[in-house]
Amino acid sequence: MGLFRRESWNVGLLVILALLLALTKAVQPNYGAAGFEGLAQAALPFAFAAAAQAIVVIAGGIDLSIASMMAVTSVTAAVLMEGATEGQAVWIALFVLGLGAAMGALNGFLIVITRVPDIVVTLAMLYVWEGVALMILNAPGGGASEWLKALPIGSVPLPFLPESVSSFIPKALLFLLVCIAVVWFPLKRSKLGLQIYAIGSSEQTAFRTGVPVRRSKVIAYSVAGLFAAMGGLVLTASTGIGAPIPGPYLLASVAAVVLGGVILGGGRGGLIGPIIAVFILRLVRTILTFLAVDPNVTTIVEGTIMVAVVMAGGVLALRGRRRKAA
């Protein structure tokens, strides 16, 4: 019961997702394995952006530069991979992941040493990273290695499952889950993860109980940078090139984080909720498309949902603060 209660938010999100999938099927009877695969692919960069944002928000901060970091890592990968062999490309991918972690760490480091609030530092860094991306690649270009491009495409053939079932497990989804699992679960279980939750929950109390606040904060931003780099690689993989102009991932990541049950202000939530939230937000778009709604109107609806979610999140955070104070 404890588990169910603690996961009630995620369960609720899954129910909404299931209902939306059913609705999609009702609107478009042809919707099946291929459609789901498309959904997973489209959701991939958003999911990584949301994961990155989530960990920073859990630590009590916010990172406005995630989309720009994705652009930097994406163009870096594209520029280096153009003409590189498949084997070299593996090293390039690893380098790009390290680059992302380093950029994130720099964000965190600047916040800690300048004592300027997170939101201002990462706003400035948003432009800095955007500039860096443009310096690396002035216009969309570069290339991607074949294995990277193939990574999110197709489904996973599992020997013990009939194809009609296994075709519903897109590689994109599996890739996402593996990446999150490799980074997040060990971290969450470690003492470091606890410290990240602790500084987000109450920086003052954490400091008094001996948590290394500054170090934990830098690490949280660094992990966010790592997730952003994964997002950047996925962008390069899906388009085959690198684009220096950041995509619409900033607001989407904040909305997914709020909808995913991570309270702005920190200390609560996880990565699973925001990722389910990303799928929900993407699916809304799919449904609107199937309903033949003007894509621009879809953008408006999407934006309105996101703003409404953030506004509701603001009200909830305000209530939470009141209760904490009482």
Partner 1 sequence: MTEAAADGGYGIRFKRLLSEYPVIPLILLLTALIVALEIIRPGIVNERWIANTIKFAIPLAMLASCQTLTMLTGGIDLSVGTIATISAFVMATQVTLSGSAAAIPIALAPAILLGLVNGFGVGVCRVHPLIMTLGTGLIGIGCLQVYQRFVIATGSEVPDYLAWLGTGRFWILPHSLLLFVPFAIGVIFMLRRTGFGRLLYALGENENATRLSGVRGWQVHLALYALSGLIAGITGLLYLGLIKAPSLSLVEPRLLPAVAAAVIGGTSIFGGRGTYSGTIIGALILTVLTTMLTVMQIPEGTRRLLFGVIILAVTAIYLRLTDES
Partner 2 sequence: MSESRIPLLEASSVTKVFGAVRALENASLEVRAGEIVALLGANGAGKSTLVKILTGALRPDQGRVRIRGSELAFASPTDARKSGLIPVYQESSMIPDLTVADNLRLTDTGTEPFRHWLNELGMGDLRLDARTSGLPLATLRILDLARAIADDPVVLLLDEITAALPTDLVQKVLEVVRSQKDRNCGIIFISHRFIEIGAVCDRASVLRDGRTVGSLDVRPGVEDQVVEMMLGGSLDSTAAVGDSGVAGDRAAGPPRLRANGLSAGDNLVEVTFELRHGEVLGVVALEGQGQDELFEVLSGFERPTGGTIEVDGAPVVFQHPADAIEVGLAYVPGDRATALLMQRSVHENIALPFSAKASAWGAIPKRRERERVAEAIERLQIDTRAQGELRRLSGGNQQKVTIGRWTAANAKTLLLFDPTRGIDIRTKRQIYPLMRELAAQGTSVLYYTSELEEIPLVCDRVVVIFSGRIVDTINARDVDESMLMRAAYGLRPSSAEAA
Q: Which residues bind partner 2 (CB under 8 A)?
A: 2, 191, 194-195, 197-198, 200-202, 205-212, 267-268, 324, 326
Distance of alpha carbon 156 from alpha carbon 170, whole angstroms: 6
* Tokens, residue 35: 């459609």
Query: Which residue stretch of 79-87, 169-177, 273-281, 310-318 sits at the interface with partner 1 (rule: CB under 8 A)?
Result: 310-318
Kindly provide the residue ranges of all beta strands, DSSP E only, lying in the chain, ordered along the sequence.
none
- Nearby residues of 202 by Cβ (< 8 Å), 6 or more positions away: 267
Q: Are 241 and 71 in contact (CB under 8 A)?
A: no
- Nearby residues of 235 by Cβ (< 8 Å), 6 or more positions away: 45, 70, 74, 242, 243, 247
- Nearby residues of 210 by Cβ (< 8 Å), 6 or more positions away: none
Provide, rounded to whole angstroms, the least separation between the CB of residue 313 and partner 1.
8
Q: Choose the contact partner of 248 out of partner 1, partner 2, none; CB within 5 to 8 A by kind.
A: partner 1
User: What φ, ψ does residue 209 adopt, rounded to 5°?
Assistant: -90, 15
Please report, as residue ranges, which positions from 216 to 255 form the binding site for partner 1 (by CB under 8 A): 244, 248, 250-251, 254
| Number of DSSP helices (H) and strands (E) in the chain, helices first | 15, 0
Stretch 17-46: interaction string toward partner 1, x if CB under 8 A: ------------------------------
Indicate the residue among 211 and 250 with the shorter CB distance to partner 2: 211
Distance of alpha carbon 271 from alpha carbon 197, whole angstroms: 12
Provide, rounded to whole angstroms, the least separation between the CB of residue 215 and partner 2.
11
Residue type, 68: S
Indicate the residue among 7 and 82 with the shorter CB distance to partner 2: 7
Provide, rounded to whole angstroms, the least separation between the CB of residue 10 and partner 2.
16
Provide, rounded to whole angstroms, the least separation between the CB of residue 61 and partner 2.
15
- Nearby residues of 62 by Cβ (< 8 Å), 6 or more positions away: 53, 56, 118, 119, 122, 254, 264
Note whether 310 binds partner 1 by CB under 8 A: yes
Query: Which residue stretch of 230-238, 268-276, 277-285, 309-317 sits at the interface with partner 1 (rule: CB under 8 A)?
Result: 309-317
Provide, rounded to whole angstroms, the least separation between the CB of residue 269 and partner 2.
9
Q: Choose the contact partner of 117 out of partner 1, partner 2, none; CB within 5 to 8 A by kind.
A: partner 1
Note whether 324 binds partner 1 by CB under 8 A: no
Provide, rounded to whole angstroms, the least separation between the CB of residue 316 and partner 2.
14
Q: Choose the contact partner of 139 out of partner 1, partner 2, none; CB within 5 to 8 A by kind.
A: none
